[in-house]
Amino acid sequence: MLTISNLTVGYEYGPIFTDLSISFNDNELIGIIGPNGAGKSTLIKSILGIIQPSAGDITLNDVPVTNRLRRDKFAYVPQRSDLDLDFPVNVFDLVMMGVLSQISRWHSVGKTEEALVQQALERMDIAHLANRSLNELSGGQRQRALVARALVQDADIYLLDEPFVGIDVASEAQIMDALRELRDAGKTIIIVHHDLSKVANYFDSVVLLNHGILNQGTPEQVMDATSLSQAYGDHLIIMDRHNHIVQGG
C-alpha cells in the first residue's frame, strides 16, 4: 500500500497542501479528480520526488520511498505538455529509455532488452512507428509511446498525469485496456483525470482533491452532488455514466 502522511507542499506564493494524508489500495485503478489548480499534478510529482515536500512521509508497504525505490517500483507518464518534441529521439529509443532506467549502467543492451521494447510497441499498436521522431506523431501516438515506455519498466506503481488530454478515442481505449491489464496483473495505477463523465467506467476508486482530500472511495461514493459542488462550485454540470445530466448548474 502506498501511504502519504502529513504531507505539506508549497510554492513561493503559498501552500498547496498542509498535513495531507491518504492511502492508495493495491491492485486498483485510482482516479484523482478535482478542479484546475487543486494540486493533482503536485501530488503526483511529490510522490515521484520531482517536487520536494517541506514535511511529511511517503511509504510503500511501510518502507520509506527513496529515489532507489522510485526507480525500482514506480513508472511515470507525464503530461504531454512536459514532453520536449524537439528532443532528438525516435519512438523505439524513447521506449528503450524505460528499459535503461531499470538496469545497471554497465549492462549492455542486447536482444532481450530490444525484445521488451518491441513487445511494448506491439501492445500499444505503434510498432510501425518505431523509427519516427516524436514530432512526427499525433497526440494519441505520442501518448501510446509514453505508456509503452512505462510498460517496459514492469513497475508496481504506475502514475499517469492527464494521459487522455487531446488524444483520439481509439488511443484512449487502447491505453485504458493496457492499464486494466496492469491492474489485473496486480499493479496499482494512479491517474490524474479531468473528464468526470468517464470516472465511473474507468476507476475502481476515486480521490476528490482541492488543496486537500475532500472525499475518497468508490466512484459511486465520491461522485455525489454535494462532494462535487464542494470541489468545483455550484455551477458544475454533473453527468452519469450514460452521459445524462443529473444536476445542472
Residue pLDDT, tens place only, 28-83: 999 999 999 999 999 999 999 999 999 999 999 999 999 999 999 999 999 987 77
Q: Which domains does the chain have, with CATH numbers?
A: 2-83+156-247 (3.40.50.300)
Closest residue by Cα to residue 32 from 241, 189, 177: 189
Residue reference for cell 532528438: 88
- Can you tell me the distance from the alpha carbon of 162 to that of 181, in angstroms, rounded to the nearest whole number? 19
Provide the strand spans (E) within the chain: 2-11, 14-24, 29-33, 55-60, 63-64, 74-77, 157-161, 188-192, 205-209, 213-217, 238-239, 245-247
Contact 78, 104 (CB under 8 A): no
Residue pLDDT, tens place only, 181-207: 999 999 999 999 999 999 999 999 999
In this prediction the pTM is 0.91
